[in-house]
Chains A and B, each alone.
Chain A
Amino acid sequence: MLTEGTYPQAFGGVSVWCDQLVRGLKNHEFDVYAIQATGTEPAAWELPANVTVHGIALWPPFTRRPRPGRGGNAERLVSAYRRMILSLVAKDSGEEFAAALREMAECADGASLAPYGQEAAGWLMDAWPANTALRQVAAPSVLDALTAVDVIERSLRPLLQPAPRADLTHAVTNGLATLPGLAARWRHGTPLLLTEHGVYLRERYLGLRAAGYSWPVKATLAAFLRLVCVTAYRNADLIAPGNQYNRRWETRFGADPKRIETVYNGVAPEDFPAAGPEPAAPTITWAGRIDPIKDLETLIRSFALVRAELPEARLRVFGGVPAGGEAYRASCEALVAELGLAGSVTFEGRVAEIRDAYAAGHVVALSSISEGFPYTLIEAMTSGRATVSTDVGGVGEAVGDTGLVVPPREPAAMAAACLELLRDEARRHDLGRRARERALANFTVDKAVDSYDAIYHDLVFRMSREAAAEVLEPAEAR
């Protein structure tokens, strides 16, 4: 299992999913190759007996000054590195990039590219002017080139270390996590399975925008990450996104639609029994992290419209504020005050049992502007509550016809949907019941785990058959 910045050292949706998978597949041994920042991060999860963790630190605190390699292999490595750097500033260079990456994986064996930083920065600066689109905007300074090359050198460490030995590698995100899998694919013919919950590339584009890099650094790193993702999409034996909506990015960047098989997340049904009676006052609940991506403004504005029709209506917001998100929460509270909703809208903070949040209302609302396949939604569905949510990411696939789906950033549409459900008890209860049925049938942990069990066996079987065919072929040719 190949991870980056998630399992086992961080909390969050992807880590929850990893934990469910390794615990669900007790008969499989998992070597987790976890790409981390410093490698000193404490484990956030208790590891089951079938899991061994191999940390790959990109910014380790103690390093020896690496020495340049010697001999033919070192020359091959440097020459491939050069072609890789040049492909970052060339146009339509996916093939060259992948070929260079493969060459590096095949001759690296734990070698380091750090001693060649100065040379690599030189290649980048020399090649830059040949690309008009880049030259028009900016030219890299020595600092830009060295910075970009430094990040790339660190990012390639997972590729250059000895490739994992396994029956199968399973990257739980695209990007750097696929590098050990690609190395194993190229060196030992190990099948590579790629799961995506969000879209790595899209998130990295946003991350690079926010990181404050100069334009040449941002352009170089974006090209590098885009080409890594393209290479992984093209070389993975199977891509298993967590929702259908991700396919758009996957196929656009080179994934063969025939090799995409959606596997949905699931929740444990015993954690979310059918919620009991509804509260007295008509109540809308929301649960999640208080974060701008959840667009709570739209939720609050739509609730203002609901309350204009139903003065006794309430909105209860459950969930904590992530570090650094205090300003956003304050802005939400200011909006509540501005719209004169104080008293009707309450921020409840974190709750011990999230199922209590769903049980606390008639309708569960989700107003996000971006989602993968949100746990909030399938948990609410499993609890048997009717939902109103925005049509983003995999939301439509999750809800089907068992809840109302409205366009994002449209308070009026969301208010109309909420009012409809608050007023029509029969419809609301019918949707809630069918939502629970739908979730129990499609979105349980067991189902997700069984799907991966089948995929693992299938990929390993397919690969061994291909290997057998290769052995037989020469005999037939004779």
Chain B
Amino acid sequence: MNSAHAEAAVDSYEVAAVLEADGVTDVTARERHGAEDVFDLADRLFRQTPRQPQPNVPAEGPWRAKPVTHVLRGVLFGLPALAYLTVADRITGPRAAVLLVVSVLLSWSAGQGLAHLGHARLSRTGRNGAAAVLSGATLAVGVPAVAVVAALGFALGVPAVVTLIAAGQLVYVLAATVALVLGREWWLLAALAAGPAAPLAAVVVAGWSVRGVRPERPARAELAAALPAVAFGAVVGGLLIFTAALRALDPQPGATGTLAVLLPLSVSMGAAEWLLYRYRAATHHAMAVSRTFRVFRRRANAALLRASATYVAVLAVLLAAGAVLTGELPRAEPALIGPALFLALLLMSFGIRGPVVLACLAALVASLALMPFASPETIQAGTAAGLLIALYAYAHLTLRRAQLHL
């Protein structure tokens, strides 16, 4: 019998529970320790042990950032869009624009929806459940979606190589989503080495990731939960290609770089993911070391500002690098859309989805409504700025509430 039983105990009953679990009975408490019974012995031990202040050791939260993985994921997601650049000069006229819009919207909405389905399953039932639902949903969505893009390209008489790239992009995005949810970043990187055959290689990686699992149809509740993600993907896709699509409709010389500017933005999503984890780890730590809500609010506000500013800096470097590579002037639209997207993803990670989707939708509707009055670039920059301000204000006000961070 020693004080280890009583140290850190919250009351004498806890000591009694430990004693009984250790085989002490009323009889042995009497015969071996001279106490009346187990409760009496526990009470004595508890009283005799001085109350030691227990140190507050903040446990590491669930948001552990893995910088290399996050950045790699950004590259894996963004880089394949390079393929569009090879055919950028052929994406002209309303037909190509329609195909571009349809394939981008399909891949963004399906990708976001799949990622949500997969991650939700992953946290609930683990890897096998996620693999089952991902393979089932990817087959159910992917095959018809690719067929739609191919048929549309054919029907519209778009150059075959453009159709091929649009369909290849869609295939790649879906396969990459499966592989990334299941943590196959390095395999996917190897798949990219296949160059033009990268979509097929990605499909192989995705298939390998879900091997031996029977595809499963997502439950109705899961689909309902994934709907906001699908809507978010579609709306964000629309916001991103707004200028590119309009320029394709109304070709003007010197506008071929519109798709190229999106590339640094795609790659910056890796940094966005990394900073999101850093932000959440920071607020988790802030909760663990704050003893009042006021102190927490101050720390949370600072963390939001820090994360946003770091993202802007990273994006600026990427845009500058992109400008150097293409020899064009850096543009304002991606510099404004990027941070807005970062904040949208940050809020979505807290399950705040309705307001985010509505805000993005409002920006898209405003962009469309303003079409007759200004150039696509000006509209895109203006609505992105509005969205950025609105989302930052909303995040600042909402994420001060500690309960959300639990």
Name the distance in Å between B229's Cβ and chain A's nearest Cβ.
14
Those of B372-406 within 8 Å (CB) of chain A? 401-403, 406
Q: How far is the CA of A174 from the CA of B57 in the complex (A)?
A: 33
Instruction: List residues of chain A with CB within 8 A of the CB of B351.
Output: 65
Does A252 contact B291, Cβ atoms closer than 8 Å?
A: no
Which residue of chain A has its CB nearest to the CB of B57? A214
Instruction: List residues of chain A with CB within 8 A of the CB of B225.
Output: 62
Q: How far is the CA of A144 from the CA of B55 in the complex (A)?
A: 13
Name the distance in Å between A191's Cβ and chain B's nearest Cβ.
28
Instruction: List residues of chain B with CB within 8 A of the CB of A222.
Output: 10-11, 14
Does A206 contact B53, Cβ atoms closer than 8 Å?
A: no
Mark contacts of B5-28 with chain A using CB atoms, 8 A cut-off: 1 yes-contact digit, 0 otherwise: 000101101101110111101111
A86 part of interface (Cβ distance < 8 Å): no
Count of A-B residue pairs with CB < 8 Å: 121
Does B287 contact A202, Cβ atoms closer than 8 Å?
A: no
Does B54 contact A206, Cβ atoms closer than 8 Å?
A: no
B23, B28, B120: which contacts A370 (Cβ < 8 A)? Answer: B23
Name the distance in Å between A217's Cβ and chain B's nearest Cβ.
10
Q: How far is the CA of A177 from the CA of B229 in the complex (A)?
A: 37
Mark contacts of A224-253 with chain B using CB atoms, 8 A cut-off: 1 yes-contact digit, 0 otherwise: 001000000000000000000000100010
Does B290 contact A205, Cβ atoms closer than 8 Å?
A: no
Does B124 contact A138, Cβ atoms closer than 8 Å?
A: no
Tell me if B's interface is mostly helix, strand, loop or mixed.
Answer: helix
Q: How far is the CA of A408 from the CA of B402 in the complex (A)?
A: 49
Instruction: List residues of chain B with CB within 8 A of the CB of A252.
Output: 39
Does A137 contact B51, Cβ atoms closer than 8 Å?
A: yes
Does B14 contact A205, Cβ atoms closer than 8 Å?
A: yes
Does B402 contact A118, Cβ atoms closer than 8 Å?
A: yes
Instruction: List residues of chain A with CB within 8 A of the CB of B21.
Output: 202, 206, 293, 369-370
Does B20 contact A370, Cβ atoms closer than 8 Å?
A: yes
Instruction: List residues of chain B with CB within 8 A of the CB of A147.
Output: 406
Name the distance in Å between A45's Cβ and chain B's nearest Cβ.
22
Does A118 contact B401, Cβ atoms closer than 8 Å?
A: yes
Q: How far is the CA of A187 from the CA of B222 in the complex (A)?
A: 36
Does A142 contact B53, Cβ atoms closer than 8 Å?
A: no
Q: How far is the CA of A408 from the CA of B11 in the complex (A)?
A: 25
Q: How far is the CA of A252 from the CA of B40 in the complex (A)?
A: 12
Q: How far is the CA of A308 from the CA of B237 in the complex (A)?
A: 80
B56 part of interface (Cβ distance < 8 Å): yes
Instruction: List residues of chain A with CB within 8 A of the CB of B292.
Output: 125, 142
Residue of B11, B21, B22, B25 most packed against chain A (CB within 10 A): B25
Does B403 contact A209, Cβ atoms closer than 8 Å?
A: no
A117 part of interface (Cβ distance < 8 Å): yes
Does A118 contact B293, Cβ atoms closer than 8 Å?
A: yes
Q: How far is the CA of A140 from the CA of B293 in the complex (A)?
A: 12
B280 part of interface (Cβ distance < 8 Å): no
Q: How far is the CA of A469 from the CA of B221 in the complex (A)?
A: 50
A328 part of interface (Cβ distance < 8 Å): no
Q: How far is the CA of A219 from the CA of B13 in the complex (A)?
A: 12
Given A62-B221, A248-B26, A215 contacting B10 (CB threshold 8 A): yes
Which residue of chain B has its CB nearest to the CB of A120? B403
Name the distance in Å between A216's Cβ and chain B's nearest Cβ.
8
Number of interface residues of B (CB under 8 A): 49
Which residue of chain B has its CB nearest to the CB of A213? B59
Name the distance in Å between B47's Cβ and chain A's nearest Cβ.
12
Q: How far is the CA of A69 from the CA of B332 in the complex (A)?
A: 45
A377 part of interface (Cβ distance < 8 Å): no
Those of B134-184 within 8 Å (CB) of chain A? none
Given A218-B10, A248-B37, A369 contacting B23 (CB threshold 8 A): yes
Name the distance in Å between A150's Cβ and chain B's nearest Cβ.
6
Does A141 contact B287, Cβ atoms closer than 8 Å?
A: yes
B296 part of interface (Cβ distance < 8 Å): yes
A79 part of interface (Cβ distance < 8 Å): no
Name the distance in Å between B40's Cβ and chain A's nearest Cβ.
11
B65 part of interface (Cβ distance < 8 Å): no
B39, B120, B221, B288: which contacts A143 (Cβ < 8 A)? Answer: B288
A409 part of interface (Cβ distance < 8 Å): yes
Name the distance in Å between A96's Cβ and chain B's nearest Cβ.
18
Does A215 contact B8, Cβ atoms closer than 8 Å?
A: yes
Q: How far is the CA of A463 from the CA of B135 in the complex (A)?
A: 57
Q: How far is the CA of A473 from the CA of B8 in the complex (A)?
A: 54
Name the distance in Å between B25's Cβ and chain A's nearest Cβ.
6
Given A62-B225, A370-B23, A146 contacting B51 (CB threshold 8 A): no
Mark contacts of B290-333 with chain A using CB atoms, 8 A cut-off: 1 yes-contact digit, 0 otherwise: 11110110000000000000000000000000000000000000
Q: How far is the CA of A146 from the CA of B290 in the complex (A)?
A: 12
Q: How far is the CA of A429 from the CA of B113 in the complex (A)?
A: 70
Does B22 contact A118, Cβ atoms closer than 8 Å?
A: no
Instruction: List residues of chain A with CB within 8 A of the CB of B406.
Output: 117, 143, 146-147, 150
Those of B57-94 within 8 Å (CB) of chain A? 57-59
B2 part of interface (Cβ distance < 8 Å): no
Q: How far is the CA of A228 from the CA of B267 in the complex (A)?
A: 54
B247 part of interface (Cβ distance < 8 Å): no
B358 part of interface (Cβ distance < 8 Å): no
Name the distance in Å between B399's Cβ and chain A's nearest Cβ.
13
Which residue of chain B has its CB nearest to the CB of A204? B17
Does A142 contact B124, Cβ atoms closer than 8 Å?
A: no
Q: How far is the CA of A65 from the CA of B403 in the complex (A)?
A: 13
Does B296 contact A392, Cβ atoms closer than 8 Å?
A: no
Instruction: List residues of chain B with CB within 8 A of the CB of A121.
Output: 402-403
Name the distance in Å between B320's Cβ and chain A's nearest Cβ.
40
Does A391 contact B27, Cβ atoms closer than 8 Å?
A: yes
Mark contacts of A405-428 with chain B using CB atoms, 8 A cut-off: 1 yes-contact digit, 0 otherwise: 001110000000000000000000
A38 part of interface (Cβ distance < 8 Å): yes
Which residue of chain B has its CB nearest to the CB of A202? B17
Name the distance in Å between A67's Cβ and chain B's nearest Cβ.
13
Does A206 contact B17, Cβ atoms closer than 8 Å?
A: yes
B252 part of interface (Cβ distance < 8 Å): no
Residue of A125, A139, A201, A205 most packed against chain B (CB within 10 A): A205
B289 part of interface (Cβ distance < 8 Å): yes
Those of A99-114 within 8 Å (CB) of chain B? none
A40, A133, A293, A391: which contacts B51 (Cβ < 8 A)? Answer: A133
Closest 3 CB pairs of A and B: A369-B23, A205-B17, A143-B287
CB<8 Å pairs between A and B, sample of 28: A61-B120, A117-B403, A117-B406, A118-B401, A125-B291, A133-B51, A142-B290, A142-B291, A143-B288, A146-B287, A146-B406, A147-B406, A201-B13, A202-B16, A205-B13, A206-B21, A208-B14, A209-B14, A212-B59, A214-B59, A222-B10, A222-B11, A226-B11, A226-B13, A293-B21, A369-B21, A369-B22, A390-B23
- In the complex, besides A137-B51, A408-B23, 10 extra interface pairs with C-beta distance below 8 angstroms are A38-B124, A117-B403, A125-B291, A137-B52, A141-B58, A141-B287, A141-B288, A205-B18, A214-B56, A392-B25
Q: Which residues of A contact B (CB under 8 A)?
A: 38, 40, 61-62, 65, 117-118, 121-122, 125, 133, 136-144, 146-147, 150, 201-203, 205-206, 208-209, 212, 214-215, 218-219, 222-223, 226, 248, 252, 293, 295, 369-370, 390-392, 407-409
